[in-house]
C-alpha cells in the first residue's frame, strides 16, 4: 500500500471487532507518527492510550456525564457558531449518510440518541487515544497536531487497524483529565477510537464524498 492508496482507504470507522490491539502495534504507530512535522521541531503532542478496564470505566463515566448534563464543552471552539454554505450542506449530508446506513429515521429520536451515545464508548473500540497539548503552546501547534493525528491514522491503517478521530471524546475535558491524571491547564484536542474494523457492520460500508480539486484550488502561473 502506497501513501496515496492509504489516503483514499482511510475512513472514520464506527464499529469495531471485540479483538484486542497489541501494545507493540500501538508503539509502532506512535513512533511512525512522531516523524510528522512540527514548527521548530516542537513535537507538541502528548498521547494517552486507554484500554482494558480503564477504558471501560472512563467511557462509562462519559456516557453518564452526557445523560446527566447533555453535550459537554470542549477546551476550544471546534465548530463555527453559525453554519454557512457550503459547509452547512456538507454537514447535513454527512449526518444523513450515517443515519441512512444505520436505517435510523430522522424522527426516531431514541435510536438517534443511542447512536450518538456510542461516541462516548469510542464505538466500542478496544483502545482510545486522547491527545493533549501543553497550555503554553499556541494555534500553530494545532496545525502540527493535525499532521500528527493524520499520521497516526495512516500508520494504523498500515498495521491493519481502523480509526475514528472524535471531537465528541473531547467534550468533557475536566472529567477526562482528572480521570487520567493530566493537569486541567492542558488542552484536550480530541480522542480517537482504535481497533480492528467490523467489516460486516453497515455503518462502515459507506463513504462521504469529496469535492473535486478544481472546486477548491486556484492555480497562478
What is the grid cell recorded at 174? 475536566
Asked if the structure places residue 125 within a domain, the reply is yes
The pLDDT tens digits of the residues spanning 61-73 come to 999 999 999 989 9
3-class SS of residue 5 = helix
Overall average pLDDT of the 121-138 stretch? 97
Nearest by Cα to 142 from 42, 28, 9, 26 = 42
Where does residue 197 rank: exposed (0-12), middle (13-18), buried (19+ CB within 10 A)? buried
Asked if the structure places residue 106 within a domain, the reply is no
Q: What is the CATH number of the domain that holds 148?
A: 3.40.109.10
CA angle 194, 21, 31 (to 5 degrees): 75
Asked if the structure places residue 214 within a domain, the reply is no
Residue 175 has pLDDT above 90, yes or no: yes
Look at residue 1 in the predicted model and tell me its pLDDT. Answer: 86
Torsion, Cα of 60, 64, 67, 68 (10° steps): -170
Look at residue 106 in the predicted model and tell me its pLDDT. Answer: 84
Residue 47 has pLDDT above 90, yes or no: yes
Q: Where are the alpha helices (DSSP H) in 23-134?
A: 23-33, 52-69, 87-101, 109-117
Q: For the chain, how many structural domains are there in total?
A: 1
Asked if the structure places residue 96 within a domain, the reply is no
Question: What range defines the domain where residue 148 resides?
Answer: 3-76+120-199
Overall average pLDDT of the 192-216 stretch? 96
Instruction: Decide: 60 and 172 in contact? Cβ < 8 Å.
Output: no
Nearest by Cα to 24 from 53, 56, 52, 49 = 49
Look at residue 189 in the predicted model and tell me its pLDDT. Answer: 98
Asked if the structure places residue 160 within a domain, the reply is yes
Calculate the average pLDDT of the chain: 96
Residue 60 banded pLDDT, cuts 50, 70, 90:
very high
Residue 176 banded pLDDT, cuts 50, 70, 90:
very high
The pLDDT tens digits of the residues spanning 12-40 come to 999 999 999 999 999 999 999 999 999 99
Look at residue 166 in the predicted model and tell me its pLDDT. Answer: 98
Asked if the structure places residue 220 within a domain, the reply is no
Asked if the structure places residue 219 within a domain, the reply is no
Torsion, Cα of 160, 169, 46, 175 (10° steps): -140
* For the chain, percent of residues with pLDDT exceeding 90: 92
Give the C-alpha separation, 91 to 163, whole Å. 20
Asked if the structure places residue 109 within a domain, the reply is no
Amino acid at each position: 500500500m502506497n501513501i496515496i492508496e492509504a489516503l483514499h482507504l482511510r475512513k472514520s470507522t464506527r464499529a469495531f471487532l471485540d479483538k484486542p490491539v497489541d501494545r507493540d502495534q500501538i508503539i509502532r504507530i506512535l513512533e511512525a507518527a512522531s516523524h510528522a512535522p512540527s514548527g521548530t521541531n516542537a513535537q507538541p503532542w502528548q498521547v494517552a492510550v486507554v484500554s482494558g478496564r480503564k477504558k471501560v470505566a472512563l467511557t462509562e463515566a462519559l456516557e453518564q456525564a452526557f445523560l446527566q448534563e447533555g453535550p459537554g464543552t470542549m477546551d476550544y471552539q471546534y465548530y463555527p457558531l453559525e453554519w454557512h454554505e457550503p459547509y452547512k450542506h456538507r454537514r447535513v449530508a454527512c449526518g444523513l449518510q450515517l443515519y441512512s446506513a444505520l436505517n435510523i429515521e430522522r424522527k426516531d429520536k431514541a435510536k438517534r440518541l443511542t447512536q450518538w451515545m456510542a461516541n462516548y464508548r469510542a464505538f466500542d473500540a478496544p483502545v482510545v487515544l486522547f491527545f493533549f497539548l501543553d497550555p503554553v503552546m499556541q494555534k500553530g501547534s494545532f496545525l502540527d497536531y493535525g499532521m500528527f493525528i493524520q499520521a497516526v491514522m495512516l500508520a494504523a491503517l498500515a498495521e491493519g487497524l481502523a480509526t475514528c478521530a472524535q471531537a465528541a471524546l473531547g467534550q468533557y475535558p475536566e472529567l477526562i483529565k482528572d480521570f487520567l491524571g493530566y493537569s486541567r491547564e492542558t488542552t484536550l484536542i480530541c480522542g480517537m477510537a482504535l481497533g480492528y474494523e467490523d467489516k460486516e457492520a453497515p455503518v462502515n460500508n459507506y463513504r462521504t464524498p469529496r469535492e473535486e480539486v478544481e472546486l477548491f484550488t486556484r492555480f497562478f502561473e
